[in-house]
Amino acid sequence: MCGIWALFGSDECLSVQCLSAMKIAHRGPDAFRFENVNGFTNCCFGFHRLAVVDQLYGMQPIRVKKFPYLWLCYNGEIYNFKQLQKQFGFEYQTLVDGEVILHLYNRGGIEQTASMLDGVFAFILLDTANRKVFLARDTYGVRPLFKVLTDDGFLGVCSEAKGLINLKHSTSLCPKVEPFLPGHYEVLDLKPSGKVASVELVKFHSYKDEPLHAACDSVETLPSAGFDLETVKSNIRILFENAVRKRLMAHRRIGCLLSGGLDSSLVAAVLLKLMKEINISYPLQTFAIGMENSPDLVAARKVAAHIGSEHHEVIFNSEEGIQAIEEVIFSLETYDITTVRASIGMYLVSKYVRKKTDSVVIFSGEGSDELTQGYIYFHKAPSPEEAAEESERLLKELYLFDVLRADRTTAAHGLELRVPFLDHRFTSYYLSLPAELRIPKNGIEKYLLRESFEDSNLLPKEILWRPKEAFSDGIASVKKSWFSFLQDYIDQQIDDLLLEKAVEKYPFNPPKTKESYYYRQIFEKHYPGQSNWLPHYWMPRWVKATDPSARTLKHYKSATQE
């Protein structure tokens, strides 16, 4: 996890512009470099480093003797860099996994490069010999990337939008900053003036397709094909374990967030099992957060005892959570209701990890709810086919919601997030399964995933079959949800009249509740006029919901009242 920043064709003094690069310093607390491009006085790279691999030669932009005309700034981890080296005979100059991007590009161009990378990444690649700039981002947007491109060819690129919004440019008072689409690469021509012109934006991978790099994966082919239940369950176990195993690549201590829900518990259990297999010497630290008597804390304690992790609990009160709202919204760069709610707990636990422990590489369970139909409202899906379509829509928008939350809350404290549920092989296989296999069964969501690990003894049965609990709900007691604490406080902060006039003040995505208005107000304070970064609020489907919390849904209420 690092912070990348680059400008091409700046009219303003670079020493002034580079102050914007410091807005993302939290992403790389270990080192910083600012470098001009030879022959282009108005082009430069900025890089904030979190040293996870190759402590000696890991600074960026990466340049190697073999390709002196290539400059690479990237944020991410490429898990198959050794397999690609073996397959194509690449001679690496460093131990940095991202160096493979230079070799792939030299061998087969940008299309093959993006398609062959198994990992999470956002990168800026400059080819001064051919006068090209390339931008690319991984399939699910696990690593963030924003860009600004003006009509006269000034390009700014950054890991977070906050590094671009204050850039100065002669022809535009407020250039439009927008997220770079996941699963895409863009080709731009670099003119002698340092300005650029976009040539094409290409989608290089659809998450339903098996990725091109599957051919050189450590699990090349699955032992058996077909959709009989035992085969499917076995394949799910094999691919999930493989997803966790490849993410063990690190020179810094590994930890795991543990809410006690199915997803984070499975990640923690498999992670600890594999760490033992490869003889990692230190114990796995797991981290849970909650208010006094929260269901998450109780469940996480059971999991930690079962798997034998070194468990840490972070207990917070409503006042501490409320005090964190503004800094959380600033970190997130969004005003989405459920994202803000869920981010507060994750932000506070990440703060604890950074201050009180030496764990830096943090595993988490993001992506499972979208992939395996874990949200409560999937019980109301009209048909398996519509449920499958909804699952794909959620995956497509992950970069706006859960993946955004997970990246920003951990990156704000200089931690690196790893999310095995969003492994390319695992997700493409799961999405290839018949729609009727993936729907909730017997009133239980994620039934297939749970059933796949039924006989593994990885988790206690009551955890394996624990019903879905939204992170923003599970961290508080059943008697009073976290969102209820928030709403009680915000009711005192926002006047009824303000809410009545919300549509006039905020015509795009107008707030419909005081809570929503409060978040929007803070967002606009830090990012005025940028409300289009969030195309729409996250809300459940097929139910008449006015609030995104699972605890407001009928299915949840009936389950807790039994």
| d(C-alpha 392, C-alpha 397), whole Å | 9
Cβ pair 454, 229 in contact under 8 A: no
Which residues are known binding-site members for L-glutamine?
97
Cβ pair 111, 84 in contact under 8 A: no
> Is 43 among the catalytic positions?
no
**Which entry of 2, 43, 44, 73 is annotated as an active-site residue?**
2
Which residues are known binding-site members?
97, 257, 289, 364-365
The amino acid sitting at 151 is D
Three-state SS across 379-443?
HHCCCHHHHHHHHHHHHHCHHHCHHHHHHHHHHCCCCEEECHHHCHHHHHHHHHCCHHHHCCECC
Cis upstream peptide for 467 (omega within 30°):
no
| d(C-alpha 256, C-alpha 272), whole Å | 9
Beta strand pairing status for 132-137 and 146-149? unpaired
Rounded to the nearest 10 degrees, the angle between the axes of helix 99-116 and helix 81-88 is 90
- Segments of 79-131 assigned E as strands: 119-127
Nearby residues of 237 by Cβ (< 8 Å), 6 or more positions away: 452, 453, 456
| d(C-alpha 474, C-alpha 468), whole Å | 9
Which residues are known binding-site members for ATP?
257, 289, 364-365
Cβ pair 416, 52 in contact under 8 A: yes
DSSP for 139-203 reads TT--S--EEEE-TT--EEEESSGGGTTT---TT-SSPPEEEPPTTEEEEEEEPTTS-EEEEEEEE
Find, among 267, 322, 257, the residue nearest to 296 by Cα: 257
Find, among 247, 300, 252, the residue nearest to 270 by Cα: 247
* Residue where the block lists tokens 């990890």: 353
Cβ pair 185, 125 in contact under 8 A: no
Cβ pair 43, 194 in contact under 8 A: yes
Q: Which residues are catalytic?
A: 2
